[in-house]
Structure 1
Amino acid sequence: MSEADRSAHLIGPAELQSWLADRPETVVLDVRHVMPADHADRDAYLAGHLPGAQFVDVDADLAGASTGRNGKRPLPGAAEFEKTVRQWGIGADTPVVVYGAPRSPAPARAWWLLTWAGVAGVRLLDGGVAAWPGELQTGPVDAPVEGDFVIRPGGLPVVEVGDVPSFAERGLLLDARPAAKFSHPTDPGAGHIPGARNVPVAEFFDAAGFLLPDDQLREHFAALGIPAGAEPAAYCGTGVAAALEVFVLSVLGVRARLYVGSASEWSADPSRVLVR
């Protein structure tokens, strides 16, 4: 994977500052989320965000209605999401940058969903909002002119619940959560899909929240013994951290599948167990 390929996924803070000066039509999306409370962090956005950035709520904007059987954050309907994307001012050729707190997986959910929907050229801000070298804007921003984006679902592959066991059997099912959530004898919320392999996505970032160099990322995944050309599947609790795992693999040129329903869908059926 070359530096040019990496730059197709990531944009550095100084580069973004110059980019926005030259390309004011760029749509910037702030996807901040509070963990472990697990809710959108609009207060942090209002207190300070990149100039012109629009706030994105993981649940209201990047997920559909949960039935209790399809996971906590299923895909939104195509028509519904097309309308949302247009409200952000995105058209067929609009450059898009998403960001959040350092090491947060929430922006990757936006990257994944926009790319899945057919938006070209979506990039993540490396280091998140903490790395921004310029001044931050406070308060809300004016709504942009509505875009003309036409959704084309299927830009990234997914895994349906019925196909999950086959990935696990082949050693290609990756759990992106911390080790304590994957398996902990005293945590009632811990547990993983049988046959899954724990690959915590937080380990792919340095202390400042920047993505590790490609060679270190390759070493990490090489240790898993995944065959060249294989398409692993990633999951987590609700399909957010796993989107970041898919993103990191995509940086390395590996086409990974997202199990959108993740553990929240898997465990909704009593016939499907989570093991510790």
Structure 2
Amino acid sequence: MSARSAYLHNDTTGAAPMAFTTILSADDLKGLLASATPPLLLDCSFELTQPGKGREAYLAGHIPGARYVHLDDDLAAAPSGTNGRHPLPDAEALAQRLRVLGLSQGQQVIAYDASGGAWAARAWWLLRWLGHEAVAVLDGGLPAWVEAGGALEAGEAGPTIVGDFAPRAPLVGGTMEADEVLANIESRAAQVLDARDPSRFRGDPNPIDPVAGHIPGAKNRFFRDNLDASGRFRPANALRSEFTALLGEAHAILQCGSGVTACHNALAMEIAGLPGARLYPGSWSEWIADPSRPVATGEV
């Protein structure tokens, strides 16, 4: 069953609907779309090496009514060369974009992609960062929707009414700057978890990282380890056991290549009942922009 929490609004019958705040199934989504207060759907399709492919995929077929958000253009600010590939967007600029897409206060938001939630989790984290509680990721993404018999539509979604969404206090554990992560190498006050694949973490040569390796003291938690063979999130108890084994009693600092798939680990920890992890948004792409920062290689 999907993790849910009490919704903030009451409907016209006086009942209190439930808000999905982590993940939901395709059948759950069908129920929401048939309700009197449908959610805002965000299609987050993206390909790291071909940034235009996500929009092409969206135009070819998406969940009816979904709006497209682009990782580079909507879910990140422009990189400067020293702040990582996907810096956090300006909060008010993102809020305005969400209003234009139709988001109203308290409205349920559902983000999805076709990549196991790799990009949708970034949208989930950002909305939580803006204080929006009712946001969840479609478990299994677009493939799960199609498997469940869900319809698709092509082309752009129709016009919508601008919403009244406004940011509130963050509902995530906060962020960390590079100097704080650097200081943590000595203090070991928190445990860095790196969401990149094991080969990149080890420091094997690859086309993405100009400098290969990882932050000294980090442990590897490949984001795809959060998923089962079907591309859905694994059970909460399994996730909790694995994250606890990595962290012990330490708090988590989450990073990856550019602060995107680290959000997948944040979502998995929330599902596991382990909220409060802090995100290092600049991640490895920011870390290696300064050659004075230390680099480790090999297994941990």
Correspondence for 1:74: 87
Correspondence for 1:178: 197
SS in 1 for 2:251: coil
Relative distance call for 1:215 and 1:79 in structure 2 (3 A) is closer
CA distance in 2, matches of 1:4, 1:140: 30
Q: Which has the higher helix share?
A: 1
Q: Which runs of 4+ in 1 moved over 6 A?
A: none
CA distance in 2, matches of 1:37, 1:51: 24
The answer to whether the Cα contact below 8 Å between 1:167 and 1:232 also exists between their aligned partners in 2 is no
Greater Cα shift, 122-131 or 211-220? 211-220
The Cα offsets for residues 45-95 of structure 1, whole Å up to 9 and x where unpaired, read as 111110100011011001112111111111112221121111111111111
Correspondence for 1:242: 262
Correspondence for 2:13: none
Asked if 1:161 corresponds to 2:188, the answer is: no
The answer to whether the Cα contact below 8 Å between 1:31 and 1:98 also exists between their aligned partners in 2 is yes
Provide structure 1 residue ranges, at least 5 long, that are not aligned to the other structure: none
Correspondence for 2:168: 152
Q: 2:108 aligns with which of 80, 92, 95?
A: 95
Q: 1:137 aligns with which of 142, 153, 157?
A: 153
Correspondence for 1:263: 284
Greater Cα shift, 198-207 or 182-191? 182-191
SS in 1 for 2:270: helix
CA distance in 1, matches of 2:118, 2:268: 11
Greater Cα shift, 159-168 or 260-269? 159-168
CA distance in 2, matches of 1:87, 1:3: 28
The Cα offsets for residues 96-155 of structure 1, whole Å up to 9 and x where unpaired, read as 000001414100110011110122210110010001121111111123211111123633
CA distance in 1, matches of 2:69, 2:89: 14
Letter in 2 for 1:181: R
Correspondence for 2:236: 214
Q: 2:137 aligns with which of 110, 119, 124?
A: 124
Correspondence for 1:26: 39
The answer to whether the Cα contact below 8 Å between 2:190 and 2:253 also exists between their aligned partners in 1 is no
SS in 2 for 1:223: helix
CA distance in 2, matches of 1:239, 1:140: 28
Provide structure 2 residue ranges, at least 5 long, that are not aligned to the other structure: 6-18
CA distance in 1, matches of 2:162, 2:79: 28
How far residue 167 of structure 1 moved from its aligned partner, in angstroms, is: 4.0
Greater Cα shift, 62-71 or 13-22? 62-71
* Identity within the alignment, %: 38
CA distance in 1, matches of 2:190, 2:92: 35
Q: 1:8 aligns with which of 6, 12, 21?
A: 21
TM-score (structure 1 length as normaliser): 0.92
The answer to whether the Cα contact below 8 Å between 1:78 and 1:153 also exists between their aligned partners in 2 is no
The answer to whether the Cα contact below 8 Å between 1:102 and 1:210 also exists between their aligned partners in 2 is no
Correspondence for 2:14: none
Q: 1:56 aligns with which of 56, 61, 69?
A: 69
Greater Cα shift, 237-246 or 216-225? 216-225
TM-score (structure 2 length as normaliser): 0.85
Letter in 1 for 2:266: V
The Cα offsets for residues 16-70 of structure 1, whole Å up to 9 and x where unpaired, read as 1011101443100000111444555111111111010001101100111211111
Greater Cα shift, 134-143 or 185-194? 185-194
Q: 1:195 aligns with which of 214, 217, 237?
A: 217
Letter in 2 for 1:163: E
Q: 1:65 aligns with which of 74, 78, 88?
A: 78
